[in-house]
């Protein structure tokens, strides 16, 4: 009998990249120890997985890699609690448990034929990175229209995935607008919070979907801007976080009304969120 719901697959840490000056955000590249586990891990951008440091516990983390990047999966993890701290102490070669993919992810089918405005703030950019990498891949790029990426951070040392962002910037089919809260020496990008930058970029709502991930204050202010730009609630997608344990809709705690963030989300449209209680 296969008892799979709670049992993680084992992976090995292949590489660890420190993403910021504070060294409290790292990207871990993991490779499944069993080939069949790798094949079964068939995911979409925007999904998450439960990461186990065996002996310490488990926590849900968004998948930062794109399904187009074969051979390994990546997770960007900020040092916060017991498991993430244990993760930060891990070394290349260590065993890490992965249970997933979980959650609904970004609706890549529904996004086909649309202009996509990706709006991110701080370290909540991981599943947005996954989405952009997926869309700009040669196999998929023709399915989607214009792509605008707006990404804000407190300062330039906090910007994740700098190499990827440079690569996207060089492409003619992606508009990248990077912003930091206050001006810094040597910074040639924009300065200011994400919401006003979205307003100045002024994306057209016509045939567009805005996809957002970031701290609550950024979400709130940017929602107002998008509304001003005539985006309808159905055109705004957000990925939520709530405390989770099981990730499969059984432990109870991530519920918002009758929905679970782990199985019904984490991606919800603003139209859906408007109907749900504000318990997130």
Partner 1 sequence: MTDKILKKEEIEKFYLDLSRYFNFFAPTKENGNIVFKKITDPCEIIFDFLNSKVPPKEIVFPRMETLFTYKINGKEIEIEPVNNLNEKYLIFGIRPCDAYSFNLLENFFASGKFQDDIFIEKRKNTILIGMGCNTPRQTCFCTSLDHGGHPHRMDDVDIFLTDLGDKYLMRSISKMGKAIIDKLAWLSDAQRKDVAKAVELSKKAEELIKTKVDLENIAETLKPHFDHPLWKEISENCLGCGTCAFLCPTCTCFDVIDENDHYNNRGKRIRLWDTCQFCIYTTHASGHNPRKSKIERCRNRILHKFSYYPKNYGMLGCVGCGRCIQSCPVNNDLRVIIHKIKNLEKEKIEVKIIAT
Cα(137)–Cα(69) distance, rounded to whole angstroms? Answer: 9
> In angstroms, what is the minimal distance from the CB of 50 to partner 1?
9
Beta strands in the chain (DSSP E): 9-18, 25-32, 48-53, 57-62, 73-78, 95-102, 115-121, 147-153, 175-180, 190-191, 208-213, 236-239, 255-256, 259-260, 267-269
Q: Site for partner 1 (CB under 8 A): how many residues?
A: 43
Question: Any contact of residue 54 with partner 1 (CB under 8 A)?
Answer: yes
Nearest distance in Å: CB 52, partner 1: 8
Distance CA 148, CA 118 (A): 6
Tokens of 10: 């084992």
151, burial (CB in 10 Å: exposed 0-12, middle 13-18, buried 19+): buried
DSSP 21: T
End-to-end, the C-alpha distance of the chain in Å comes to 37
The verdict on 196 binding partner 1 (CB under 8 A) reads no
Q: Is 10 in the site for partner 1 (CB under 8 A)?
A: yes
Which residues 98-117 are close enough to bind partner 1 by CB under 8 A? none
Q: Does 234 bind partner 1 (CB under 8 A)?
A: no
Using DSSP, state whether 82 is helix, strand or coil: helix
Of 80-88, 105-113, 143-151, 226-234, the window that binds partner 1 (rule: CB under 8 A) is: 80-88
Q: With binding defined as CB under 8 A, does residue 36 bind partner 1?
A: no
Q: Does 42 bind partner 1 (CB under 8 A)?
A: no
- Binder among 7, 22, 166, 217 for partner 1 (CB under 8 A): 7
- For partner 1, which is the closer residue by CB, 26 or 132? 26
Does 95 sit near partner 1 (CB under 8 A)?
A: yes
The stretch among 41-49, 106-114, 168-176, 236-244 that binds partner 1 (CB under 8 A) is 236-244
We find the least distance from the C-beta atom of residue 203 to partner 1, in angstroms, to be: 29
Q: Could you list the residues that contact partner 1 (CB under 8 A)?
A: 1-8, 10, 54-59, 80-81, 84, 93-95, 97, 216, 241-243, 245-246, 248-253, 255-258, 263, 277-280
């Amino acid at each position: 009998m296969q008892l799979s719901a709670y049992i993680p697959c084992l992976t090995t840490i292949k590489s660890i990249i420190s993403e910021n000056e504070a060294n409290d955000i790292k990207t871990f590249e993991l490779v499944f120890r069993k080939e069949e586990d790798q094949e079964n891990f068939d995911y979409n951008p925007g999904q998450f997985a439960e990461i186990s440091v065996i002996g310490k516990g488990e926590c849900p983390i968004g998948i930062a890699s794109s399904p187009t990047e074969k051979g390994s999966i990546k997770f960007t993890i900020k040092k916060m609690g017991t498991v993430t701290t244990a993760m930060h102490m891990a070394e290349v070669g260590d065993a890490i448990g992965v249970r997933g993919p979980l959650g609904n992810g970004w609706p890549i089918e529904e996004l086909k034929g649309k202009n996509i405005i990706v709006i991110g703030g701080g370290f909540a950019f991981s599943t947005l990175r996954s989405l952009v990498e997926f869309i700009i891949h040669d196999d998929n790029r023709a399915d989607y229209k214009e792509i605008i990426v707006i990404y804000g951070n407190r300062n330039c040392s906090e910007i994740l995935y700098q190499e990827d962002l440079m690569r996207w910037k060089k492409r003619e089919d992606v508009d990248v607008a990077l912003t930091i809260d206050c001006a810094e020496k040597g910074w040639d990008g924009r300065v200011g919070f994400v919401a006003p930058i979205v307003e100045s970029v002024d994306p057209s709502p016509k045939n567009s979907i805005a996809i957002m991930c970031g701290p609550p204050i950024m979400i709130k202010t940017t929602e107002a801007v998008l509304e001003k730009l005539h985006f309808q609630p159905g055109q705004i997608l957000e990925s939520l976080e709530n405390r989770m344990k099981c990730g499969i809709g059984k432990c109870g705690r991530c519920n918002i009304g009758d929905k679970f963030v782990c199985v019904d989300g984490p991606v919800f449209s603003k139209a859906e969120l408007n109907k749900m209680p504000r318990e997130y």
